[in-house]
Structure 1
Amino acid sequence: MRIPILDLKAQYATIKDEVTRAIGEVCESQAFALGPAVARFEQNVAAYCGSKHAIGVSSGTDALLVSLMALDIKPGDEVITTPFSFFATAGCVVRVGARPVFADVDPDSCNIDPARIEEKISDRTRAIIPVHLFGQIAEMEAIMEIAQRHDLAVIEDAAQAIGASRDGSKAGAFGDCGCFSFYPTKNLGGFGDGGLVTTNTDALADDIRTLRDHGQKPQYFYKVIGGNFRLDGIQGAVLNVKLKYLDEWNEKRRQNAALYDSLFAGSPVRTPAIDSHNVSIYHQYTVTVPERDKLQKYLAENEIGSAVFYPKPLHLQDCFGELGYRQGDMPVAERLCNEVMSLPVYPELTPEEIEYVAGTVLKFYGIS
């Protein structure tokens, strides 16, 4: 039995006709950059996330970048974030000339530990970027309390968390900005790159809309230097079709995760710990395991896909060497990088396939 880490073709087969019609409408209108399809998608996502504004942009990375720009994060500023995330979280901070300051993560949620944030605050700190990793929202009430007390902006990196909630509030509705990615492998994935920023602040939304289109307002008149961060019309159309199925797909992921949890009970496999306040969307089903690399090789030999997110923490990446971090500075993140592994959890998996994946993992540990 061959089981990939993700099967996008299986999802596409269920919505092919709707997607084809939606793309055809954009082709007929010839509104390829922003346009009506993007405007509709923005309106629908704002309602879905419980945010006043949603601004479509060219990628999740650009969502972070334009948020930092709109908040006037600049050279000399510091931004506190997690060392256990995709590169863009910290890379965008450097791109605006600021300095990422890393705070270690909670060993259970893998998200930034609020208890580690306050000790990193200096007179140069301007913002915090918590990441809702693997589809679970960070401890936003504690993070927002710290931010408000120190007058800091909060940018939620919700690239992996659209539809996730905490105490009834959706990802992207807590901070000054919420940043989403619609890379094809995301729970809500486009047909290429795409992203979006949510905010409840009118002035911030206005600035982001201006900055995503080179900083022009009105056309060909520039008071600020922006970028080319527009979301394509075809992406807006595809994402609008998929959005109405998102809750169904996320629920199926939760069901798949629950089956894995039951199958791994009492084994060496440490399953994801979901905070009681959270409803996760399981963008990844990430376990911590002994002999991770040997297990991954064994799974590949049995035609089972897996992935490691992430094999090296950000504070130890070569490109951030000038920040001065060393091995041992972020012990939890460093340990997780040696132990985490993500297993297939996409909605179209059958119970039999999940049982085969789990059974193969357990067989590796000598459990039948």
Structure 2
Amino acid sequence: MANQNFLPDQYDRTDALDINHNYLPDQFADYEEILAKVGEVVRKGDFTLGRAVDQFERDFAEVVGVKHAIGVGSGTDALFLSLKALGVSEGDEVITTPFTFYATIGAIVTAGARPVFVDVLDDFNINPDNIEAAITPKTKAILPVHWSGKPCRMDDILAIANRHGLKVVEDSCHGIQAKYKGKGAGSFGEFGAFSMHPLKNLNVWGDGGLACTNSDELAEKMRLMRNHGLIDRNRCAMFAYNSRLDTIQAVVASHVLQKIDHITESRIANSLYFDSQLSGISGITIPQRDSGEVKQVFHIYSLRYERRDELQAYLEARGVDAKVHYPIPMHLQPGAADWGYKPGDFPVAEACCATTMSLPVHEFVTREQQDRVVYLIKEFYR
């Protein structure tokens, strides 16, 4: 029987590495300042959808460039509730990418729909040129993923959705402050979903998420759906879900939001430095960087490497937390067995899963540490 909670062992393995993806002790070194703000929540007792939630939602909406941001329990719930608010249900299909985190697919499945996969481009994002061929009479929505904080080609995706009368939900869980042609990721579709998992660029002390929209009607529906469907304490407009952003987590999120410009700029700078130092090395492929119309925020810094698994083991043995995001594409996961997909169905996504590896680029990574990683990678390929 599998260990019921595999995360503690994973934390211990990661903590032993010198150059790490986990930067939380550094980021929250000022925890006493946050605890003082949490103390105000304790004194007021508004733990559930309190005043701090309202303020954070307004501030976050402004950052994304939308009318409404609705705080929910997680990024997964933001995706799931967005699909449900748009009427996705049993028998529907939702087009998405096989190169993503499990939550994208879990949200579609728990909403009652079947994921229909479309292969990705070399930049890891869904290939809009292949979407129309996947549309059937059952298709209800398109769910693009802004992988690693690089926005998808939203003009093309929205044009397809409009031609076929489909809804668009953006998985922007990697994409806070990412932009496409000057407009924030998560502001294009009917909904944009964001995550505040502890290792996201904007993070909290547990789980948290937001669903963003420019529709007053959809915003009102989402606010009902996250809180049992309650209009007020005594009236229920619909029987719905319990997925509220905790007030304490909103306090933490507001604290980190004050630092988000620095976090984003650091990740971009560190990623581009790696690009400059690793380019030209035989065996490494750097995805195209669209510096003009796209602002990529590098929640994950992934390149493609020959002999990836050997390189990963080599780096980890020398104290570098090199991670694979993720080795098995969604259409080949055990949970997808009943959908009839097979190896070779999405060759680009499968090749990405076999060759990608991520290096730490958060705001606490130093140039000295980056130079150490570059030296080790060059040494490996020599």
1:55 aligned partner: 70
Aligned mates of 1:246, 1:357 — CA distance in 2: 26
Q: Could you tell me which amino acid in structure 2 is paired with residue 78 of structure 1?
A: E
Pick the aligned partner of 2:231 from 209, 213, 217: 217
1:6-58 per-residue CA deviation (whole Å, 9 max, x = no partner) reads: 32111112x43432222122122111111101110000001111100000000
Aligned mates of 1:162, 1:38 — CA distance in 2: 18
Q: Could you tell me which amino acid in structure 1 is paired with residue 89 of structure 2?
A: K
2:245 aligned partner: 231
Cα contact 2:56–2:254 (8 A) shared by 1: yes
Aligned mates of 2:73, 2:320 — CA distance in 1: 33
Gaps of 5+ in 2: 1-16
2:298 aligned partner: 282
Aligned mates of 2:299, 2:60 — CA distance in 1: 18
Cα contact 1:272–1:285 (8 A) shared by 2: no
Cα contact 2:19–2:320 (8 A) shared by 1: yes
TM-score by structure 2 length? 0.93
Q: Could you tell me which amino acid in structure 1 is paired with residue 163 of structure 2?
A: R
Cα contact 2:61–2:69 (8 A) shared by 1: yes
1:158-210 per-residue CA deviation (whole Å, 9 max, x = no partner) reads: 01111111111111111100000000000001000000000000110011000
Matched, 1:30 2:45: yes
Q: Could you tell me which amino acid in structure 2 is paired with residue 16 of structure 1?
A: Y
Aligned mates of 1:331, 1:34 — CA distance in 2: 45
Aligned mates of 1:89, 1:204 — CA distance in 2: 20
2:367 aligned partner: 351
Aligned mates of 2:96, 2:187 — CA distance in 1: 18
> How much has 1:220 moved relative to structure 2?
4.3
> How much has 1:269 moved relative to structure 2?
1.8
Query: What SS does the corresponding residue of 1:234 show, helix, strand or coil?
Result: helix
- Alignment of structure 1 residues 34-49 onto 2, 5 Å: 34-49=49-64
Matched, 1:83 2:83: no
Cα contact 2:96–2:115 (8 A) shared by 1: yes
Aligned mates of 1:71, 1:219 — CA distance in 2: 25
1:275-298 per-residue CA deviation (whole Å, 9 max, x = no partner) reads: 232111110110100011100100
1:165 aligned partner: 179
2:343 aligned partner: 327
- Alignment of structure 1 residues 175-254 onto 2, 5 Å: 175-254=189-268
Matched, 1:117 2:131: yes
Matched, 1:97 2:112: yes
TM-score by structure 1 length? 0.97
Pick the aligned partner of 2:160 from 146, 154, 172: 146
Matched, 1:257 2:264: no
2:6 aligned partner: none
Q: What is the RMSD computed on CA atoms of the aligned residues?
A: 1.2
2:5 aligned partner: none
Cα contact 1:127–1:153 (8 A) shared by 2: yes
Aligned mates of 1:40, 1:255 — CA distance in 2: 30
Aligned mates of 1:62, 1:336 — CA distance in 2: 27
Aligned mates of 1:37, 1:223 — CA distance in 2: 25
Q: Could you tell me which amino acid in structure 1 is paired with residue 249 of structure 2?
A: Q
Q: Could you tell me which amino acid in structure 1 is paired with residue 348 of structure 2?
A: V
Matched, 1:11 2:9: no
Aligned mates of 1:219, 1:17 — CA distance in 2: 34
Matched, 1:72 2:61: no
> How much has 1:113 moved relative to structure 2?
0.5
Matched, 1:336 2:357: no
Cα contact 2:78–2:211 (8 A) shared by 1: yes
Aligned mates of 1:68, 1:101 — CA distance in 2: 15
156-165 vs 2-11, which deviates more?
2-11
1:135 aligned partner: 149
Aligned mates of 2:107, 2:101 — CA distance in 1: 11
Q: Could you tell me which amino acid in structure 1 is paired with residue 28 of structure 2?
A: Y
> How much has 1:110 moved relative to structure 2?
0.3
Gaps of 5+ in 1: none
Q: Could you tell me which amino acid in structure 2 is paired with residue 111 of structure 1?
A: N
Aligned mates of 1:59, 1:123 — CA distance in 2: 31
Query: What SS does the corresponding residue of 1:188 show, helix, strand or coil?
Result: coil
Cα contact 2:224–2:237 (8 A) shared by 1: no
> How much has 1:218 moved relative to structure 2?
3.4
Q: Could you tell me which amino acid in structure 2 is paired with residue 350 of structure 1?
A: T
2:3 aligned partner: none
1:299 aligned partner: 315
2:4 aligned partner: none
